[in-house]
Copies of this chain bind each other. A is one copy, B any other.
Amino acid sequence: MRFTIQRDKLINGVQDVMKAISSKTVVPILTGMKMEVRKHGVTLTGSDSDISIESYIPAEDEGKVNVENIEEGTIVLQAKYFPEIVRKLPESQVDIDVDEQFNVKITSGKSEFNLNGQNADEYPLLPQVETENSFEMPIDLLKNMIKQTVFAVSTMETRPILTGVNIKLENQKLVFTATDSHRLAKREIPIPDANMTIEQVVVPGKSLNELSKILNDSEETIEISVTNNQVLFRTKHLNFLSRLLDGNYPETSRLIPDHSKTTIQIKTTPLLRSIERASLLAKEERNNVVKFTNNDDALIEISSNSPEVGNVEEQVTADKVDGENLKISFSSKYMIDALKAIEYDEVIIEFTGAMRPFIIRPIEDDSILQLILPVRTY
């Protein structure tokens, strides 16, 4: 096997698949990176068995030659050394030459590396996902949906199903839901061209975070296919495969109150900054509680108290307040996460009492919903 490749193309491909490679895997060969060279191009693969990433570098793309002097073959490279070597090679072209003892010679300019490779036959085959049953959506919209929900997944392994984002596709409507049982984030969008149904799958939050990092913001589309235990995200040169989480995702719709006793319309940023300041005194406590009080006027009082350190008190002016006066306490972290995810200048907060979950939504958009359970302090 041998070929000559443009170094920048190789760097990009290597960087993408590295996201799936862990040095801590129990399957030793998975610490390596698989490289498959065919006449039409080079495919790199990395996997930690939960996530697998394939990056494809076509030999020719839009009239530009990326790979040449191709003799086909496969090899597994040491992922601990290969990426850094490629990044530091002196010239813009790289020759890679592999002999039958899996010795890998990497040459660029007057620099020559000889690395011990491994037989690619020992590398596990990736699960095949049927791509006939799939739908497409714009990449930037997918990244946005991930960003607005994934922070709310649970980080505790006590209920593994909650460490994933619940994905549903029904009646041309795609819904992402995440909850750690103390708060919930939900985002939906219409997919007019989708003529299929996904009853529900739960994708690990970690997988979605990695996917989001790899995808460039772009209006190109991504194809999503689901089988029993795998989901495949596919763009032009990238396959991103993740296992799904087993188990029943809790029914979340009944958590969401359908009426409210107090409604507050308020600018997002001033409220966010105020909550951020109120959270400063409670750095170490896990439940970093702030109090939120509204009286008869539009002045909202945000306060927090940390006996050994001191206390903080602020006022933020709401744009509109309807309904009963309210005193409620909640985790400042949850509120900060929710307000940051909303991405609109103004929000509506709907309360149904000091001990009931409350909802935060953007003022002009029903497709995003953030829900937070209060903390009992009064």
Contact = CB atoms under 8 A, between A and B. Distances in A.
A111 B280 contact: no
Contacts of A88: 273, 276-277, 280
Interface in A73-99: 78, 80-81, 84-85, 88-90
* Residue from A84, A111, A276 whose CB has the most chain B CB atoms within 10 Å: A111
A217 interface: no
Interface stretch (A40-48, A305-313, A359-367): A305-313
Contacts of A90: 273, 277
How big is the A interface, by class? 20 to 34
Given A88-B273, A111-B274, A273-B88, A280 B81 contact: yes
A314 interface: yes
B111 A81 contact: no
Nearest to A80: B283
A160 B313 CA distance: 49
B111 A277 contact: yes
Interface string A310-341: 11111110000000000000000000000000
Interface stretch (A25-33, A112-120, A123-131): A112-120
A281 interface: yes
Contacts of A80: 283
Contacts of A281: 81, 113
A314 B114 CA distance: 11
B312 A78 contact: no
Interface in A44-88: 78, 80-81, 84-85, 88
A285 to B, nearest CB: 13
Contact of A310 (B113, B283, B308, B312): B113
A286 interface: no
Contacts of A81: 280-281, 283, 309-310
A111 B70 CA distance: 67
A115 B309 contact: yes
Nearest to A110: B315
B312 A114 contact: yes
A115 B283 CA distance: 14
Contacts of A85: 277, 280
Residue from A308, A309, A310 with most neighbouring chain B CB atoms (10 Å): A310
B308 A113 contact: no
Nearest to A277: B88
A29 B85 CA distance: 49
A99 to B, nearest CB: 13
Nearest to A276: B88
Contacts of A114: 310-313
Contact of A313 (B78, B112, B314): B112
Nearest to A104: B310
Nearest to A317: B110
A113 B276 contact: no
Contacts of A277: 85, 88-90, 111, 113
Interface in A289-312: 308-312
Contact of A314 (B104, B111, B314, B315): B111
25 contacts: A80-B283, A81-B281, A81-B283, A81-B309, A81-B310, A85-B277, A85-B280, A88-B273, A88-B276, A90-B273, A110-B314, A110-B316, A111-B277, A111-B313, A112-B312, A112-B313, A112-B314, A113-B277, A113-B281, A113-B311, A113-B312, A115-B309, A116-B308, A116-B309, A116-B310
Nearest first, the 7 closest Cβ-Cβ pairs linking A and B are A115-B310, A110-B315, A111-B314, A114-B310, A113-B312, A114-B311, A112-B313
